[in-house]
């Protein structure tokens, strides 16, 4: 009976091996050769590593009234050819790290996004570097490429030229929260002096834990706008975890 069970295991193992595509086999060899580990980035010097949601890596550094957080941004699937270039980048496995492998012979590479907050006089500010005009131009270029109107070489050329353009946008800090902002209303409209993009913020939820009050807010903005913050600003979560 034991021998029969062993034969079944061997058959299942061999079937599993044969079912792998050439791309998967080559990827497995590459992973072993390069000693790749998944979802285990190296925390940069001067930062503390934490997981603001289950298995989502983040880094945090507090310097005086400045709070810098790196957390999950976009992700992209890369084949071996692209990965061979990616691993040469000094940011690899720090600010760009392998998240998981896929059956088509690619690896999903996770990008880390930077948030810079400023805490002053019971008020929280966020540094806004998002150029809406430049972003709109990039979307046009990307759309033209996917529709086959321009070649890959032209796509790269136009993308690089767009990044170098000075369209007059000046990154700056904007107010996103202050103590008492939701005392009388769940929605607050910032004026230009507070928030140069004149955005609106909505209170989604509030609760207390161990004497500290927490707020889940939604900033009406072009980029990610949902945050969880404590009223003492010692806790800021740029991720909204599943509830």
Instruction: Sketch the domain layout of the chain as residue ranges.
Output: 23-120, 130-170, 181-243
Share of the chain above pLDDT 90, in %: 58
Per-residue pLDDT of 198-211, as tens digits, reads 999 999 999 999 99
Does residue 85 sit in helix, strand or coil?
A: helix
* Mean local confidence (pLDDT), 15-34: 80
Q: What is the pLDDT of residue 168?
A: 80
Residue 65 banded pLDDT, cuts 50, 70, 90: very high
Task: Quote the tokens at residue 25.
Answer: 């086999």
Banded pLDDT at 224 (limits 50, 70, 90): low
Q: What is the pLDDT of residue 1?
A: 43
Q: Residue 10 — very low, low, confident or very high, per pLDDT cuts 50/70/90?
A: very low
- Tell me how far CA of residue 167 lies from CA of 9, 158, 163, 192, 223, in angstroms: 63, 15, 10, 20, 19
Report helix angle 132-146 to 152-164, nearest 10.
Answer: 180
3-state secondary structure (DSSP) of residue 73 = strand
172 and 124 in contact (C-beta within 8 Å)? no
pLDDT over 70 (residue 12): no
Return the closest-CA partner of residue 217 out of 176, 184, 159.
176
Please write the tens of the pLDDT for every residue from 213-222.
999 999 987 7
Look up tokens 């990154």; give the residue: 171
Of 33-37, 58-62, 135-139, minimum mean pLDDT range? 135-139
- Range of lowest pLDDT (10-24, 60-74, 96-110, 155-169): 10-24
Q: Check if the beta carbon of residue 241 is closer than 8 Å to that of residue 58.
A: no
Distance of CA 78 to the CA centre of its chain: 17
């Amino acid at each position: 009976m034991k021998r029969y069970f062993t034969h079944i295991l061997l058959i299942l193992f061999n079937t599993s091996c044969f079912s792998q595509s050439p791309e998967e086999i080559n990827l497995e060899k590459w992973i072993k050769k390069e000693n790749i580990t998944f979802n285990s980035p190296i925390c940069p010097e001067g930062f503390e590593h934490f997981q603001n949601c289950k298995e989502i890596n983040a880094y945090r550094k507090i310097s005086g009234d400045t709070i810098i957080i790196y957390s999950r941004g976009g992700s992209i699937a890369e084949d071996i050819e692209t990965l061979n270039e990616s691993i040469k980048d000094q940011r690899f496995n720090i600010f760009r790290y392998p998240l998981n492998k896929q059956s088509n012979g690619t690896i999903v590479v996770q990008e880390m996004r930077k948030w810079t907050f400023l805490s002053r006089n019971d008020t929280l500010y966020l540094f806004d570097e998002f150029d809406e005009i430049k972003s709109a131009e990039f979307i046009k270029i990307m759309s033209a490429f996917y529709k086959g109107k321009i070649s890959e070489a032209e796509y790269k050329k136009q993308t690089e030229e767009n990044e170098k353009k000075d369209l007059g946008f000046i990154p700056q800090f904007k107010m996103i929260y202050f103590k008492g902002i939701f005392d009388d209303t769940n929605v607050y409209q910032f004026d230009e002096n507070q928030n140069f993009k004149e955005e609106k913020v909505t209170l989604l939820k509030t609760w207390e834990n161990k004497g500290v009050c927490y707020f889940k807010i939604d900033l009406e903005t072009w980029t990610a706008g949902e945050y969880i913050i404590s009223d003492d600003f010692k806790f800021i979560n740029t991720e909204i975890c599943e509830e």
